Structure 1
């Protein structure tokens, strides 16, 4: 496939639909500060009711195991609406195939005509998710970070760590993966990129050394429990987005001074938060949405607080990412 190809399809009455390849889309990677700024505004609009975001479409496959997520919506007053399809099929790795794929479709909200198709192969989802962790870091990370902890060694963990310096600056990093081989390979890769990084072969080591932690795994067995957490720690979890996934144990929510959800309606059904609610370690009125937190300016108050951000991923992120890509690539 020629990834440099830029296809322009002419539709009826001189309407133009653009198709962008992954190679072209990745050019927006240099615009991380703009992405963070736009995501903040998007979260705020979501929590203020200024978006239309229906429930997530979800398909689960058993043989082989796979998941399809369909997220869609629009920001009121915008001239576009977006539909995103993201597929995750982990067993593809055994055949040498990509484990994720996807695309974003952008439509004119006045005519319904297709404006652009972004063949991002799932990259935009990783980019906007990593951007969301930076939004959380901006508002919730301790002022004095000991080390950055990353739980996970997959595509999402790569994106998150690569982008973290844009908000937190250069920090020492500790990473934990499912196996020693995965962990060591991840460490070696990021050392070549100039990161001060070391491996951890259990999650407790990450929690002992780090007060800013991001989890990006597909586990259904919690990685982090309350007894592992030190005062002043912030945790952002991005892996528990559906299907019984659970990275942050319910006990952590019981000791947290501040619990943040990207979407209360989603996190209380599919996120780590739902397990805490079921076990009674937290009540729904104790949760604040990320957009509300941004709007009222209430983030971390001191370096002794324990804070948790549970992110399931919401369509407004996809809307922001797709529209930003179209705007920058069209210039």
Structure 2
């Protein structure tokens, strides 16, 4: 008996999966399953190739009652731009949860990761920021800065968006793209302290290895979503911020301790090793665990989870089969 495998190109995947409220709802379901203990998710497998300025991450997760589980391979080779190639690419393989057979090969070049990461950012803002927040600050000017802004505007009605970036020209282009995608006034602020202090919601999207956001800049009622730190060398948030915030929410405690902003707070003995925090899925299940007043300062750390990959790969597979999109091979 042969097994049919769907093979989808990046272009085909982009025709099926979009950054919208439906996708956000699917990623929410994955976080809920994680919170309820309905998930098997091993630690991230990471390998660095320093002589090539390269790295690769492998993530996976099995979610109870899902037809499939995804294995994602994400290489990053940072000399590639000098060769006219993108730094990041990758693919996802969706396997049957019942038989282990390959169901789909998703040649997305990192697109699905980008979109599910932005969706997680929107979820953190939906559940942790003040509902009447009107100003959004974006720290960084890359692709994820654009996507995070777009996603945030799906869950909050912002009046203004501010972009800070090290390169003024890149920041200006980013601001123009965000304005085009959201129809919201978007400006560039070259002073990062001012960009932080003047916005109610902040999203950090950089690969910085030295923290950018200082404790003394925080304002009452602010929410910060930090998504740039996803390995043991990156750090966007001053660890002393953990002394000032009222609520810290990681996507996964164990990952934030090793890869995220919690790692530096542990290293500086600001947070105790045995301390745990409500995860994003816990907040979705019980919003009473989240923000309790408008004056609280909240911080969400997104390191990226395998459940997000399984959720978006499963959705892609479902839509591809419904619309008969992709190349089919029998193996």
TM norm structure 1: 0.92
Q: For residue 282 of structure 1, give the secondary structure of its aligned residue in structure 2.
A: coil
Q: 1:85 is paired with a residue of what secondary structure?
A: strand
Separation of aligned partners in 2, 1:103 and 1:308: 30
Q: Is the CA contact 1:258–1:307 (under 8 Å) kept in the aligned structure 2?
A: yes
Following the alignment from structure 1 to structure 2, what is the Cα–Cα distance between the partners of residues 279 and 65? 28
- Contact 1:165/1:171, CA 8 A, preserved across alignment: no
**Equivalent residue, structure 2, for 1:316:** 307
Partner of 1:302: 293
| Offset of residue 170 of structure 1 | 4.3
Call closer, same or farther: CA 1:195–1:90 in 2, change over 3 Å.
farther
Deviations 1:82-121 (A, max 9, x none): 1001122233222221111010000112222110000100
Unpaired runs of at least 5, structure 2:
323-331
Describe the shift of the 1:28–1:302 C-alpha distance in structure 2 as closer, same or farther (beyond 3 A): farther
Paired residue total: 319
Shift of the 176–31 alpha-carbon distance from structure 1 to 2, 3 Å rule, reads closer
Secondary structure in 2 matching 1:49: coil
- What residue in structure 1 maps to residue 275 of structure 2? 285
In the alignment, the residues of structure 2 paired with residue 53 and residue 294 of structure 1 have an alpha-carbon distance, to the nearest angstrom, of: 19
Per the alignment, residue 125 of structure 2 pairs with 137
Q: Secondary structure at the match of 1:305?
A: coil
Q: Say whether 1:175 aligns with 2:163.
A: yes
Matched, 1:87 2:87: no
Q: Report the alpha carbon displacement of residue 131 of structure 1 after superposing the two structures with TM.
A: 0.3
Structure 1 regions of 5+ residues with no counterpart?
1-12
Distance in 2 of aligned mates of 1:248 and 1:31: 27
What's the counterpart of residue 211 of structure 2?
A: 222
**Residues in 2 aligned to 1:142 and 1:245: alpha-carbon distance in whole angstroms:** 28
Aligned to 1:327: 318
What is the CA–CA distance in structure 1 between the aligned matches of 2:75 and 2:150, rounded to whole Å? 23
C-alpha distance in 1 between matches for 2:271 and 2:192: 23
- Higher RCO, 1 vs 2 (CA within 8 Å, ≥6 residues apart): 2
Match for residue 148 of structure 1 among 103, 127, 136: 136
Q: Which moved more, 1:28-37 or 1:85-94?
A: 28-37
Q: Distance in 2 between matches of 1:38 and 1:149?
A: 26
User: Which residue number in structure 2 is paired with residue 201 of structure 1?
Assistant: 190
